[in-house]
Amino acid sequence: MSTVNAASVREHRTTIRSLARKKKKGERFSMLTAYDFTFARIFDSAGIDVLLVGDSLGNVVQGQDTTLPVTLDETLYHTRMVARGAARALVVADMPFGSYQVSAEEAVRAAIRLVKEGGAQAVKLEGGEDVAEAISRIAAAGIPVMGHVGLTPQSIHKMGGFRVQGRSEAGRRRVLADARAVQEAGAFAVVLEGMPAPLAAEITATLSIPTIGIGAGVDCDGQVLVMHDMLGLSDWTPSFVKQYADLGALASRAARAFAEEVADAKFPADEHTYR
């Protein structure tokens, strides 16, 4: 990369400061999950601000029922690929279940690996008051931390399923307290997942750090979707997802056409053949 190009990438690169500025100015921003180089590059050049190497990779890449089996090494593997494809977007690596709950020390060690070996510029972890110490210790090590409150998929067994959180008054107060705890611990942003829109709006107005909603209404500072859901690559999508493309049907049609042409000896044609 020439010096001029390197300087312009630096200038336009999403940073935790540029996201904070967007919140101040009331400008919305976008985050998509990505798990490999190809999609990271496509989303990056399409202007997506933040790429999240989500532990949703357990579901959409590995075909698991939950995100719980995802390991730190698997997250590192995908983070490296995404980091290679992102010239502009902020790359955030999701800390997998078990990598930050045991002790703050283990959490810092795992976060350092994601930055040092994975090339992530920030990490994300789920929870509120319970993980405040881990957030502040990771942040103290110089690593930006994104929080994640409300519906937290790593706590599926505690929640008794994927349930919208904060519907009752006690629930509302708990989610709000978690969001405040995350901010006070030093997080630079927080994902608000699966909660009534008025609660997400209240949290967004209360916090000084940006909020990023998923199933949390339109009043958050940013929005995030799982790429397989928004591109039509999932078997099933929740009601809060908007499907922006139907890549699943497109890929299926292409594969069927290929299989037929192979069966009919129409592929490879002359132009695909070395003479």
Instruction: Choose between 143 and 214: whose C-beta lies nearer to ligand KIV.
Output: 214
Is 74 one of the annotated active-site residues of the chain? no
Bridge partners of 32, per DSSP, are: 51, 225
Smallest separation, CB 227 to ligand KIV (Å) = 9
* The amino acid at 229: D
| Inter-axis angle of helices 72-85 and 104-116, nearest 10 | 40
Examine residue 214 and tell whether it contacts ligand KIV (CB under 6 A).
Answer: yes
**133, 193, 202, 260: the active-site residue:** 193
Q: How many Cβ atoms are within 10 Å of 17's Cβ, its own excluded?
A: 10
Please identify, among the stretches 54-62, 105-113, 194-202, 256-264, the one whose residues bind ligand KIV according to the rule CB under 6 A. Answer: 54-62
Please identify, among the stretches 52-60, 134-142, 159-167, 251-259, the one whose residues bind ligand KIV according to the rule CB under 6 A. Answer: 52-60
Examine residue 55 and tell whether it contacts ligand KIV (CB under 6 A).
Answer: yes
Examine residue 191 and tell whether it contacts ligand KIV (CB under 6 A).
Answer: yes
Examine residue 56 and tell whether it contacts ligand KIV (CB under 6 A).
Answer: yes
- Per-position b or e across 219-241, b if 16+ CB within 10 A of its CB: bbbbbbbbbbbbbbbbeebeeeb
Q: How far apart are CA 120 and CA 56, in angstroms?
A: 17
Residues 83-112 that bind ligand KIV (CB under 6 A): 94
Instruction: Choose between 191 and 203: whose C-beta lies nearer to ligand KIV.
Output: 191
Residues 136-175 that bind ligand KIV (CB under 6 A): 148
Residue 95: strand, helix, or coil: coil
Smallest separation, CB 161 to ligand KIV (Å) = 16
- Distance, C-alpha 44 to centroid of its chain: 14
| 100's tokens | 């930050």
Instruction: Choose between 57 and 271: whose C-beta lies nearer to ligand KIV.
Output: 57
Q: How far apart are CA 65 and CA 171, in angstroms?
A: 26
CB 88 within 8 A of CB 14: yes
Examine residue 224 and tell whether it contacts ligand KIV (CB under 6 A).
Answer: yes
- In the list 123, 226, 231, 233, the residue contacting ligand KIV (rule: CB under 6 A) is 226
For 82-144, strand residue ranges (E) read 90-94, 122-124
Find tokens 């989610």 and name the residue.
Answer: 175
Smallest separation, CB 96 to ligand KIV (Å) = 10
User: Which residue is closest to ligand KIV by CB?
Assistant: 54
Q: How far apart are CA 122 and CA 191, in angstroms?
A: 14
Residues 24-43 that bind ligand KIV (CB under 6 A): 33
Select from 229, 209, 170, 155 the least CA-distant residue to 24.
Answer: 209
Residues that bind ligand KIV (CB under 6 A): 33, 52, 54-56, 94, 148, 191, 193, 214, 224, 226
Active site residues: 193
